[in-house]
Structure 1
Amino acid sequence: MPRTMFRLLPIVLLDIQLPLMTALFTVEVLQPRYDAEYGSDVEMGCRFPVDSPLNLTNISVLWKRKLAKTKEEREVYKFHNGHENLTFQDTDYRGRATLLRESLEMGRSVLSITNVKLTDEGDYLCAVYYGGADYKYITLKVKATYKTIDIQKRREDEDLIFTCQSEGYPLAEVTWHSEKNPNVSILANTTYELTKDGLFNITSTLRFKPSINESYSCVFWNKAFNEKTSAHSVFESSSSGKTHPISVILPICLLVCFLIAAVIIMVRRKSSLTNR
């Protein structure tokens, strides 16, 4: 048998033995689901029984990601008989995925992924062969929080237009709120487009005819993570900005009265000096 076949044989045997769960060797997840922020780092892990000290030459660890649509599995990282083996690693994980080897001594297979992408979301297989063989699946959810909402307002003819815009992931639901108009959301028009990074760029526009002073707010609800981000703006009716006539007339009247009084006093003083 060629020498290359001998090198590939243990890898093939590892894949064959994965479904054969033994009573003495069981892999368990550290937690079934991990939530990661877009652009951050994440560490996911599973545990396995280990004798002390660990014999690295007898352990093999395999991490794969299952694609949601095709159910195809792509290799994320492989550690085989004490050595890193990246021959079949998916190119999207090169330079980003690695195994925390110090955790192996404690019976843990911990996969570290840096600069998390939206495409990293999915189910990950953690398989360990160390005397026996077993595997478990772990779910990774990726989010991009709608951290900042840009809210603007403008007038168009007799209408007032409020616009809220933000980027994030997954797709958020947008609602509008007003203390005096509980059904204001039905007036809104919400659209979105995908950015080159896979984020949702959401724009929600509320158009109405203003009549009274009121505060309006838009809320972006990331349902998958139960996160809400809001922004608000206040509309002041045009009447509140106008000066009431009495506020102009009253000071003028007071000024005229003051001048008349001053003139009368001056005339009386002049008259009394003349009589002397």
Structure 2
Amino acid sequence: MTGHSPKPHLGRLRLDIRKNFFTERMVKLWSGLHREVFRKQLDTALWSADKGQLDTTCHAFVGETVVLPCTITLPGELTLSKSMLYWQIGTKLVHFFQNGQDSLKGQDEKFHGRTSLFLDQMKHGNLSLKISNVQLWDDAEYSCIYRQTESYQTKKSTIKLNVSGLLATTGITLEKITKYQLFNSPEG
């Protein structure tokens, strides 16, 4: 015996291509791989008062729900009746909260019915925004701006949301993938 261990036999992978089986399996595989890579969406947001620099990055897939983290620590509980919270993309209003309640009259129509805050946790400093049914156009830099109306103290955090669609970066649809393309071999 020379001390070398035997190499494992690598057999040729075969795929049973049946209608819908292939598509469903590939969608699950592709989604699973991307979810593992991009699943770090609840990073802690660090406040950088008035600097506006990027504090955290979140990732989501089209159709999912994502939470954009935003927290603040002040002595005691926040007085929500004397607070304003803006979630914005540039000058577009994504979500607005003032005087203890949502105020969505000027909300950008693309976000209508898809945003919410954690109202039961806000007094403890959780100002995070939940966006449901994420769309490709949601990919942007969001500003979380908290302001106390009495002291005029303002805190700002910037969160980047990256949105991915299934196979969007490759331009390949599952219906176009052939056995030859998958294995790069004419005999499959």
Q: Which interval holds the TM-score relative to the shorter structure?
A: 0.5 to 0.7
1:139 to 122, 138, 160: 160
Counting aligned pairs with the same residue, the percent is: 23
Distance 1:57 1:137 in 2: 24
Question: Is 1:112 matched up with 2:133?
Answer: no
Decide whether aligned partners of structure 1 residues 30 and 104 sit closer, same or farther in structure 2, where only a CA change above 3 A counts.
Answer: farther
Q: Mark the runs of 5 or more structure 1 residues left unpaired by the alignment.
A: 1-24, 67-72, 146-167, 173-191, 193-199, 207-214, 219-230, 238-276
The residue type equivalent to 1:60 in the other structure is M
The residue type equivalent to 1:53 in the other structure is E
Deviates more, 1:76-85 or 1:100-109: 100-109
Decide whether aligned partners of structure 1 residues 29 and 56 sit closer, same or farther in structure 2, where only a CA change above 3 A counts.
Answer: farther
Distance 1:205 1:39 in 2: 23
Decide whether aligned partners of structure 1 residues 143 and 94 sit closer, same or farther in structure 2, where only a CA change above 3 A counts.
Answer: same
1:96 is matched with 114
Decide whether aligned partners of structure 1 residues 233 and 64 sit closer, same or farther in structure 2, where only a CA change above 3 A counts.
Answer: same
> What is the deviation of 1:202?
8.3
> What is the deviation of 1:77?
0.3
> What is the deviation of 1:108?
2.0
Between structures 1 and 2, the one with greater strand share: 1
1:127 to 130, 145, 163: 145
Distance 2:113 2:65 in 1: 13
The residue type equivalent to 1:83 in the other structure is Q
- The answer to whether the 8 Å contact 1:103/1:110 transfers is no
TM-score normalized by the length of structure 2: 0.62
> What is the deviation of 1:235?
3.1
Give the root-mean-square deviation of aligned CA atoms: 3.2
Distance 1:98 1:39 in 2: 16
Larger Rg: 1
> What is the deviation of 1:48?
1.5
- The answer to whether the 8 Å contact 2:67/2:130 transfers is yes
The 5 Å alignment of 1:250-265 reads: none
Distance 1:41 1:30 in 2: 21
- The answer to whether the 8 Å contact 1:30/1:45 transfers is no
Distance 1:54 1:31 in 2: 22
The residue type equivalent to 2:68 in the other structure is M
The 5 Å alignment of 1:17-96 reads: 26=49, 32-66=56-90, 73-96=91-114
Distance 2:53 2:122 in 1: 14
> What is the deviation of 1:137?
1.4
Between structures 1 and 2, the one with greater helix share: 1
1:158 is matched with none
Runs of at least 4 residues of structure 1 off by over 2 A?
A: 25-31, 49-54, 200-206, 231-237
Partner secondary structure for residue 119 of structure 1 = helix
TM-score normalized by the length of structure 1: 0.43
Distance 1:102 1:134 in 2: 20
Cα shift readout 1:74-104 (whole Å, capped 9, x = no counterpart): 1000001212111100011110011111231
Distance 1:204 1:86 in 2: 43
**Aligned residue pair count:** 137
- The answer to whether the 8 Å contact 2:77/2:124 transfers is no
Which has the bigger relative contact order, CA under 8 A and spacing at least 6? 2
